[in-house]
Structure formats: structure tokens, C-alpha cells
Structure 1
């Protein structure tokens, strides 16, 4: 499976609960996948990227799947992912798609961390190829409106909100410290 990093020793996590998962949410380009990889390495856990796993399952990119089957079909695949994680996955770092917490409850998957960053900061960190891969960035004015409309829902969906403009190592330490309480 793509975007999965395996822990060095998973035996201690055999009886873990969904709360042992760390679920990263935020707008497209906020750094969810990058931070998930850093967290997985730092905590010796495995990492799941919801979009990558859905792409593997359906055999198309998110953009192609949206174009072929529409948003409702994609959101149904996300719901299947959430059900699977909630019932079967323990001790994971999970990077979600940007819309997942807008259309679904994600709290049952684990500790939900919102990576908060301003729209301009997100755009500044993405190159033209990364922007082209994200269908909703096709129209920057619409993307900004979407960003503005989602902020409150991200906040509401999260157990913890952190400033995503900090370096990944700092964010990793903040999240792991919060989870260890």
C-alpha cells in the first residue's frame, strides 16, 4: 500500500485503542502528509494517507475519480476509510484529505489535530505542480472562499489545534507531548 510507514516494533500496540491514533486534518497543502511522515518516524508508528489509500483502491487519482464519478462517490470512499480505521487501525498516524472532516465525523478515528495555517502561507509553500494536483486550487478565488468556509469546521472537528507554520520537528514534539498527557 502506498504512503504506509511501518513501526519498528508494533507488539506494544496490539491492544491499543482508536485514541492511540493521531489524525491530522487541515486545508489542502497545510502539511498533513509531511507531518504524518515525521510523526511516524519520531514515534515508531505507521502512517496512513487517506487519499493515497483511496487512490490505490479505486485505481485513479483523486482528481480523476472526482471527474469520473463525482464528489459524492469520493466522499463514500472516505466514509469507508473512516469506518475501517475506527474499527481496525490502532497506533497509526493518519493524514486525511482536506475535505474529510467537513463531510464526515473524524473524532472516532483518534486524537484529531488541526494544522492551522493562513491561506497565503499554504499557497506560498506549494509549487505549481502541487497546485495543479489539487483540483480545488484551479480557481484561487474559489479556493480562498472554500478555505474561509472550512476553518470553523476544522476547529470544531479537532481535539487540538496547532500552528502549521512551525517546523515539522516542533509540531511533532507538540503533538506527541499532548498525546502523552
Structure 2
């Protein structure tokens, strides 16, 4: 059985993927999410884990927030870490700007999670049409949901996320990249 090992910047990404991946992955693919305590911890861990991992038929996916960095340079740096660690096939995905961008891409899910049904109507407003353009997604989410907290919010919102209707381009790129990666794994 193929195993995907997701190396993540933060625990809230694990919560999201634990809900999302069973809906996305075929039955013959298992997954393991390894959260880290921030980007520095993740980047230190990549060479160690990739070089020493010895579970057969394991493939890696690295997911990190862009924050204020340059997306292209960041992705190239992470890919180089994977190449240097003898895992050049590793899939690297950048969340633009942060995980909350994915939640803002599906305000119907946020509304369902927090019993705020009117939120879905804001999806077509200029501000939320392209949530990846918001440099402060977490702050925007806090304005919409009083007392929003990262871990609890991920736990509540993740089960409601739509795979098709999410307007976050980085969310859609992660899903399509994952499908392409799985197709490559099948032929490897």
C-alpha cells in the first residue's frame, strides 16, 4: 500500500488534512501527517526525515505557509532541500498566505462550522473572491468569527470544506497537485 507522508508547518494543518484527505485519497493510499512547530522546525526536519525514512512505498508532501516570503523562491528552496535529501520527487505546496486562506475560500464552510449561515453570501464580495490575495487571512477570519482560535477553528471548519467550491487558488493547486502526484506514483 502506498503511504503519503505530509510534513506540515503547524498542528492546525494536520487537523485540516486529517478531515480532508480521506475524502480525496483513493482507498489504496494511506497517509501520515507530521506537524511541526513552525517553518524553521519544518525546514530542519525535512533533511532528517527524508534521508532516514525507511518505510517502503512512502512518498512525501511538504506543505508550508508563504507568509510574507516570495512564493517561487520559497518553493525552490524547499525543493532543493528535498533533492539534497535524495527525495527529488517530493511534492511541495505553498499555502498563500496562510492556512486560513483556505478557510476564507469557503465561507459557507466557515458559516456551517460556526452557525453563521449569512457568511456564505460574502464569498462573492471583492475581498473574499480571491482569499489568497489577503496577507492577513487569520485576522480577517477573526473579524468574521468572534473568538476564532487556530486549532479549534481548523477542527470545526475542516469537515465542512468543499473540494470543488473553494475559491482559494492555493487550495485548488494543492488538490490538483496531489492528484497529479498520485498518478506519477502509480507509474513509478
Which structure is higher in RCO with an 8 Å CA cutoff and minimum separation 6?
Answer: 1
TM superposition score category, shorter chain reference: 0.3 to 0.5
- Which TM-score applies when normalising by structure 1? 0.37
- Which TM-score applies when normalising by structure 2? 0.36
